[in-house]
Chain A
Amino acid sequence: MAAKRDVRLTVNGVAYEASVEPRMTLVDMLRGELGLTGTHVGCEHGVCGACTVLMDGRAVRSCIMLAVQADGAEFMTVEGLASEAGELHPIQQAFIEERGLQCGFCTPGFMMTIHELLQETPDPTEEEIKDALGGAICRCTGYESILKSVRSAAKKLQALG
């Protein structure tokens, strides 16, 4: 076993420190070491998008990044969407209203992907939405409700300014 290494990172504004084997993936550290189980593990080879988190504001696959590579970076996961008082984020609210989820397994990855999209493109075109969501797979809801959720979330966020 290779020597463990210390990783210091920020997740949802909270500083964490963990000692991990170099071969541990980021998603395994988030779930297993930090207890942040909102991020889901799907295909584990970067295809399904369930494990998507934001690293320094960019949507990345946490299953194909090593935990040791996260040292010094700032992350946001699905747990960081709602306010501390428990008020849902407009993206979450939109998913409920537009029925953007059934089993919910893919939902955290979709939401983080949408978060990046709407941060950069507050009023995305249909094409831009589909391009961003192309990197996430849902096997039960059907994409139409998810597309509706994105459009609704965009409106909600724009109304908030």
Chain B
Amino acid sequence: MKPVSFEYFAPTSVADAVSLLQEHGPEAKLLAGGQSLVPLLNMRLARPTAVIDVNRVEGLDYVREDGDALAIGAMTHQRTVERSELVQRVNPLLHAATRLIGHPQIRNRGTVGGSIAHADPAAEYPAVALALDAEMRIVGPNAERLVPAADFFVTYLTTALEPTEMLTEVRVPALPQGTGWSIQEMTRRHGDFALAGAAVTLTMDGGACSDARIVLFGVGATPLRVQQAEERLVGERVDATLMSEVGREIKTSIDEPLADIHATSEYRRNLAGVLTERALVEALERAA
């Protein structure tokens, strides 16, 4: 057997899961879809003393329209989001991002909350959560709180979640009618984690850009919002020259990403710029 020995619990309510977290302290790990955690256990990169499996917790598997947002239960499978006509209609960017996660076999088990709480900086969901101003509903021993994506992702695989807290819902605002969007990424093989990626939204009003959002992933410790680049677009008539300039500026302005065996730091920076430009072009086409 590959993982280290651990105690296993399968609570059926959020309250029980949270009290188990309190009881077992920071060496306990919540197990959602397991598509990142179990590989880490198999390689003994994660050595928790207790695994709290939340797959049997009731009431966390749903996608509903709630005012002008989507409320998605943390244990909703990515495959459910992929197949949801509601998501496709209300937030096509979230839908498109889902199709880029791993493979169907991964999305059958992987969950929305698991991906966001794991906070891999190269993952799609954290990036679109930031691009779309999603909010995370977090339940702790005494209280519940809503944390905006901008405050949620702290650094590599680290979020605002305290060791005794659990993510229960992700609230994703609807993409306003007429807002263009795109998500672009480069992977070594279909379904791999992105070497770099860009998620973009673009709102046009009377020929000029009224709002823009550019979030990069795979190039920093968290998904990275590039406000400087957004500001270059707002108020302007967006054309090919401007989009190309913004892409070029990203290549020189972002901090050097980490290099690994798959890509150098320089290559990742270059990719971030190229993918941003491609994403802007596609988002502009989609903007009404």
Contact = CB atoms under 8 A, between A and B. Distances in A.
Contact of B108 (A45, A58, A63, A66): A58
A18 interface: no
A60 B105 contact: yes
A146 B162 CA distance: 47
Residue among B3, B43, B53, B108 with the highest chain A CB neighbour number at 10 A: B108
A24 interface: yes
Interface in B1-23: 1-8, 10
A21 interface: yes
Nearest to B38: A64
A5 B7 CA distance: 11
Report, as a range, how many residues of chain A touch the other chain.
20 to 34
A66 B189 CA distance: 27
Contacts of B4: 23
Nearest to A26: B38
B109 interface: yes
Contacts of A135: 102-106, 191
Contacts of A64: 34-35, 38-39, 42, 109
B2 A44 contact: yes
Contacts of B35: 46, 61, 64
B39 A45 contact: yes
B26 to A, nearest CB: 19
A122 B38 CA distance: 32
Given A58-B79, A58-B108, A135-B102, A44 B7 contact: no
A98 B52 CA distance: 46
Nearest to A61: B105
B38 A25 contact: yes
A126 interface: no
Contact of B104 (A24, A68, A131): A131
Nearest to A52: B105
B80 to A, nearest CB: 11
A69 B109 CA distance: 12
Interface string B235-259: 0000000000000000000000000
Contacts of A44: 2, 39, 42
A24 B4 CA distance: 10
A134 B6 contact: no
B51 interface: yes
Interface string A40-78: 000011100100100100111101111011000000000
B125 to A, nearest CB: 17
19 contacts: A2-B5, A21-B5, A23-B41, A24-B1, A25-B2, A28-B1, A44-B42, A45-B43, A59-B104, A60-B105, A61-B106, A64-B38, A65-B34, A66-B8, A66-B31, A68-B8, A68-B53, A132-B103, A134-B191
Interface of B: 1-8, 10, 31, 34-35, 38-39, 41-43, 51, 53, 55, 79, 102-106, 108-109, 189-191
